[in-house]
């Protein structure tokens, strides 16, 4: 089990379009990754769960994964979120 | 003729045309409790519906990101697993789907973000597709439009938008939906007028009925009479011609037919307004109200905070930027500084009076301005000046600031222009003397009118008295322009008067150099100026300035 904290820089927050890109990206990762915000935890490959986080620019996110390739997956997703555009 | 008011003006413009109501097929679930041996069959039916929905969405998703998100939803296991669990609990597929849809939507609608709330409409859209497959109803093939119509619908889904041939759509009316919905956004980008929130309108409108949709005022007419139709046809034509001309003219300068150039500037109250100013082709900013920096803060903003905002403003604009120093007090309070209650706030401790007394606050702002001016053409404007001494005192503090910045070794602009707002009768009477010392004048007609006429502009009983077309106000304006030109400085105006269609010809005739107004008015004023001759306006101004009553003034200006 690995966890990483980060701040979301994306101007629009996790709106439909960026969330859709996160879903596509997460489906390619070797293990299931979760994004937590404000006590809510979403599977990164579920657009409905991602939208329901209500994450905005400046929101603190906790990324986590468990299983084969978890460290690699979390790092990849973090890097992806850092450069995510509206 | 029937007239309706809409709750939401979602997209501006005027549309006339025959009504085309779209009635979606009934997609409410038939609810039935199922026996255990039916579970597998219901699950299969649901999976089949999901599969077909995904097939429909896949090609759409490649073309449009909105449908990309829809496809993600259709593939989202949160949704499909939720439905299957409900089937497992003894509900038929339709019922399970509807319940899951409602739960998902209410979860999204409970979020604070209005944009995310609107995404519930996308979830509904996806679930409707599934429901249509489950129920075996073909979603009504969308109307093959052959003539221009005004569409009426309970709600338009983004998926509907893809099926509509917009060449034939003049306008859209819906019973539900908000201004941030995808439909509203799409319509605005296509310049199609839209009204939303007209509940029950589908029960009142008939196919082929003549309708008028006024997206500017938020009004809908069903079966309008001849007179209304004629009126709107004219409005529509005028609007179309004007919009076209304004667009073409956006990059042209405001020059009269005889070659007299007027600079059109924008009044702004924040960085967002600057983007608008650039978009509307403003040649600069004539009034940057720095108050917002102070009002949106929880303490007096620091030099660094202010510097960054002013610098950003200058870099966004890349054109002359006139920043008015803090105009606070009177009726404008600060959350963190308590002003004593005054008998006459407009005649009280405000603007430059406050700043000259609160020297540290003032100097913090001046230093930020000097530093930011190294990055753009920033000019400083002092408000509410009544005397030459006040201007000198302010500039003396400015010199002190330069000295201090020099000692700190910070980058700043040494030769910065300083001017004043002319908005008090005293400044008008002293205009010739002031003009010798300042770099520019900007006439603030809102306050000037109230001070010259001794009429509180917020007093409802005095609205008739408060009139910038009063000859006394106009003579004061003319006097200031003359005094400025005699000393060789530019004279501008940043009150509402500067963007008033009735006043513009007069101001041109008086020789005003610069008009500063709300960005959205610039295009219309530019159009107006390009159609008049300055020489003729001079004669008009002479006659107006000789007028004795407000009525005479307005007759001469045809107002």
Q: Check which CATH number belongs to the domain holding B95 and give it.
A: 1.10.274.10
User: Could you tell me the pLDDT band of residue B236, with boundaries at 50, 70 and 90?
Assistant: confident
Cα separation, B230 vs B237, whole angstroms: 11
Same domain, B161 and B228: yes
Q: For the packed helices B303-317 and B271-279, what is the interaxial angle rounded to 10 degrees?
A: 10
Same domain, B374 and B499: yes
Query: In terms of CA atoms, which chain B residue is nearest residue A57?
Result: B113
Domain range for A13: 2-82
User: Could you tell me the pLDDT band of residue B114, with boundaries at 50, 70 and 90?
Assistant: confident
Q: At B454, phi and psi to the nearest 5?
A: 50, 45
Q: What is the pLDDT of residues B20-75, one digit of tens each?
A: 988 777 788 999 999 999 999 999 999 999 999 999 899 888 877 778 899 999 99
Quick one: average pLDDT of B335-364?
90
Contact A17, A86 (CB under 8 A): yes
Query: Nearest C-alpha of chain A: how many angstroms from B64?
Result: 10
Comparing C-alpha atoms, which of B270, B271, B308, B264 is closest to residue B286?
B264
Half-sphere exposure of B491 (CA within 13 A, CB side): 28
Same domain, B280 and B424: yes
State the catalytic residue, choosing from B127, B260, B494, B515. Answer: B494
Total residue length of chain B:
559
Where does a domain end: B113, B135, B157? B135
* Residue B469 host element (H or E): none
What strands, in cross-sheet order, belong to the sheet with A2-7?
A2-7, A60-65, A33-37, A40-43
Report the share of chain B in percent with pLDDT over 70. Answer: 95
In a domain, B65, yes or no: yes
Where does a domain end: B246, B273, B296? B246
Q: Check which CATH number belongs to the domain holding A40 and give it.
A: 3.30.1340.10
Q: What is the pLDDT of residues B455-509, one digit of tens each?
A: 987 776 787 898 999 999 999 999 999 999 999 999 999 988 998 888 999 999 9
Same domain, B317 and B376: yes
Give the pLDDT confidence score for residue B159 in this predicted structure: 65
Cα separation, B553 vs B345, whole angstroms: 31
- Kindly tell me if the per-residue pLDDT of A86 is higher than 60: no
Query: In terms of CA atoms, which chain B residue is nearest residue A53?
Result: B111
User: Could you tell me the pLDDT band of residue B390, with boundaries at 50, 70 and 90?
Assistant: very high
CB-CB neighbors (< 8 A) of A26 in chain B: none
Q: What is the pLDDT of residues B270-296, one digit of tens each?
A: 888 898 888 888 999 999 999 888 887
Pick among A10, A16, A41 to test the B interface (most B CBs inside 10 A) = A16
How many distinct structural domains can be found in chain B? 3
Quick one: average pLDDT of B517-540?
89
Give the pLDDT confidence score for residue B180 in this predicted structure: 58
Give the pLDDT confidence score for residue B432 in this predicted structure: 97
Same domain, B277 and B370: yes
Quick one: average pLDDT of B520-534?
88
Same domain, B19 and B151: yes
Give the pLDDT confidence score for residue B162 in this predicted structure: 66
How many distinct structural domains can be found in chain A? 1
Q: What is the pLDDT of residues B353-371, one digit of tens each?
A: 999 999 999 999 999 999 9
Contact B266, B282 (CB under 8 A): yes
Contact A17 B108 (CB under 8 A): no
Provide DSSP, B101-153: HHHHHHHHHTSS-HHHHHHHHHHHHHHHHHHHHHHTPPPPPPP---S-EEEEE
Contact B368, B404 (CB under 8 A): no
Q: Check which CATH number belongs to the domain holding B160 and give it.
A: 3.50.30.10
Domain range for B172: 2-24+141-246
Give the pLDDT confidence score for residue B139 in this predicted structure: 60
Same domain, B457 and B386: yes
In a domain, B414, yes or no: yes
Range B501-506, long-range pairs (CB < 8 A, 24+ positions): B501/B525, B501/B528, B502/B469, B502/B554, B502/B557, B502/B558, B502/B559, B503/B468, B503/B469, B503/B557, B504/B528, B504/B529, B505/B532, B505/B537, B505/B540, B505/B557, B506/B474, B506/B537, B506/B540, B506/B541, B506/B544, B506/B557
Q: Which positions ≥6 away from B260 have C-beta within 8 Å?
A: B508, B534
Query: Nearest C-alpha of chain A: how many angstroms from B158?
Result: 13
Contact B50, B80 (CB under 8 A): yes
Same domain, B234 and B333: no
Question: Considering CB atoms only, which of B66, B76, B113 is closest to A48?
Answer: B76
State the catalytic residue, choosing from B70, B182, B280, B470. Answer: B182
Comparing C-alpha atoms, which of B402, B359, B382 is closest to residue B442?
B382
Q: What is the pLDDT of residues B92-105, one digit of tens each?
A: 999 999 999 999 99
Question: Considering CB atoms only, which of A17, A43, A54 is closest to B111?
Answer: A54
Which range has the worst mean pLDDT, B62-71, B218-227, B253-262, B403-412?
B62-71
Counting one residue from chain A and one from chain B, the pairs whose CB atoms sit within 8 A come to: 48
In a domain, B465, yes or no: yes
Same domain, B503 and B403: yes
Neighbours of B158 (CB within 10 A): 20
Q: What is the pLDDT of residues A9-57, one digit of tens each?
A: 888 888 888 899 899 999 989 999 999 999 999 999 999 999 999 998 8
Same domain, B200 and B147: yes
The question of whether B494 is a catalytic residue gets the answer: yes
Cα separation, B145 vs B158, whole angstroms: 18
Q: What is the pLDDT of residues B134-144, one digit of tens each?
A: 998 866 556 67
Same domain, B314 and B185: no
User: Could you tell me the pLDDT band of residue B150, with boundaries at 50, 70 and 90?
Assistant: very high
Instruction: List all residues of chain B from 370 to 409 with a beta carbon under 8 Å from chain A.
Output: none
Q: Which positions ≥6 away from B504 have C-beta within 8 Å?
A: B498, B515, B525, B528, B529
Same domain, B371 and B479: yes
Q: Which positions ≥6 away from B376 have C-beta within 8 Å?
A: B311, B313, B314, B315, B317, B318, B321
Give the pLDDT confidence score for residue B348 in this predicted structure: 92
Instruction: Considering only residues B247 and B164, tell me which one the structure prediction assigns the higher pLDDT.
Output: B164
Total residue length of chain A:
86
B104 inside 8 A of chain A by CB: yes
Give the pLDDT confidence score for residue B464 in this predicted structure: 82
Strands, E assignment, B325-394? 378-382
Where does a domain end: B196, B224, B246? B246
B517 forms beta bridges with B266
């Amino acid at each position: 089990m690995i966890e990483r904290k980060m701040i979301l820089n994306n101007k629009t927050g996790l709106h439909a379009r960026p969330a859709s890109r996160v879903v596509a990206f997460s489906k390619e990762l070797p293990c299931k990754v979760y994004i937590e915000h404000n006590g809510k935890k979403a599977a990164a490959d579920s657009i409905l769960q991602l939208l329901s986080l209500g994450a905005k620019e400046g929101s603190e996110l906790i990324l986590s994964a468990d299983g084969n390739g978890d460290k690699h997956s979390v790092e990849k997703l973090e890097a992806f979120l850092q450069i995510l555009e509206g | 003729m029937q007239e309706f008011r809409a709750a939401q003006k979602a997209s501006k413009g005027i549309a006339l045309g025959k009504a085309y109501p779209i009635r979606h097929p009934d997609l409410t679930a038939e609810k039935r409790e199922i026996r255990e041996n039916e579970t597998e069959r219901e699950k299969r039916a649901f999976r089949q519906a999901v599969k077909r929905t995904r097939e429909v969405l896949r090609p759409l998703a490649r073309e449009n990101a909105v449908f990309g998100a829809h496809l993600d939803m259709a593939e989202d296991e949160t949704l499909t697993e939720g439905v299957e669990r409900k089937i497992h609990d003894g509900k038929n597929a339709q019922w399970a789907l509807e319940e899951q849809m409602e739960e998902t939507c209410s979860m999204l609608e409970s979020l604070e973000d209005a944009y995310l709330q609107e995404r519930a409409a996308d979830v509904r859209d996806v679930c409707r597709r599934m429901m249509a497959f489950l129920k075996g109803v073909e979603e009504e093939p969308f109307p093959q439009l052959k003539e221009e119509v005004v569409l009426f619908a309970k709600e338009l889904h983004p998926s509907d938008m893809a099926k509509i041939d917009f060449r034939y759509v003049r306008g859209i009316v819906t019973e539900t939906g908000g201004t941030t919905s995808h439909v509203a956004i799409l319509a605005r980008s296509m310049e199609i007028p839209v009204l939303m929130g007209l509940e029950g309108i589908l029960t009142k409108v008939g196919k082929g009925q003549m309708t008028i949709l006024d997206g500017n005022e938020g009004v809908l007419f069903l079966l309008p009479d001849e007179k209304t139709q004629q009126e709107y046809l004219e409005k529509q034509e005028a609007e179309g011609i004007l919009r076209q001309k304004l667009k073409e003219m956006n990059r042209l300068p405001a020059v009269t037919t005889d070659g007299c150039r007027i600079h059109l500037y924008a009044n702004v109250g924040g960085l967002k307004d600057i983007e608008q100013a650039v978009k509307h082709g403003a040649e600069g900013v004539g009034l940057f109200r720095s108050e917002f920096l102070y009002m949106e803060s929880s303490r007096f903003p620091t030099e660094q905070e202010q510097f960054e905002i002013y610098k950003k403003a200058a870099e966004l604009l890349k054109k002359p930027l006139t920043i008015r120093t803090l105009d606070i007090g009177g009726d404008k309070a600060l959350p963190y500084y308590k002003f004593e209650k005054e008998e006459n706030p407009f005649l009280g401790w405000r603007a430059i009076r406050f700043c000259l007394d609160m020297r540290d606050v003032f100097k913090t702002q001046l230093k930020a301005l000097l530093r930011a001016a190294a990055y753009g053409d920033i000019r400083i404007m002092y408000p509410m000046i009544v005397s030459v001494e006040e201007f000198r005192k302010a500039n003396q503090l400015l010199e002190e600031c330069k000295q201090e910045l020099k000692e700190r070794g910070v980058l700043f602009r040494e030769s910065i222009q300083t001017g004043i707002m002319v908005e008090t009768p005293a400044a008008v009477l002293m205009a010739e003397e002031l003009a010798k010392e300042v770099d520019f004048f900007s006439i603030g007609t809102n306050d000037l009118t109230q001070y010259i006429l001794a009429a509180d502009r917020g007093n409802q009983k005095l609205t008739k008295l408060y009139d910038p077309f009063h000859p006394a106000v106009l003579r004061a304006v003319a006097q200031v322009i003359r005094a400025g030109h005699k000393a060789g400085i530019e004279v501008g105006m940043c009150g509402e008067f500067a963007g008033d269609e009735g006043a513009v010809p007069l101001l041109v005739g008086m020789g005003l150099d610069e008009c500063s107004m709300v960005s959205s008015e610039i295009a219309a004023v530019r159009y107006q100026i390009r159609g008049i001759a300055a020489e003729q306006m001079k004669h008009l101004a002479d006659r107006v300035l000789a007028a004795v009553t407000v009525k005479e003034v307005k007759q001469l200006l045809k107002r």
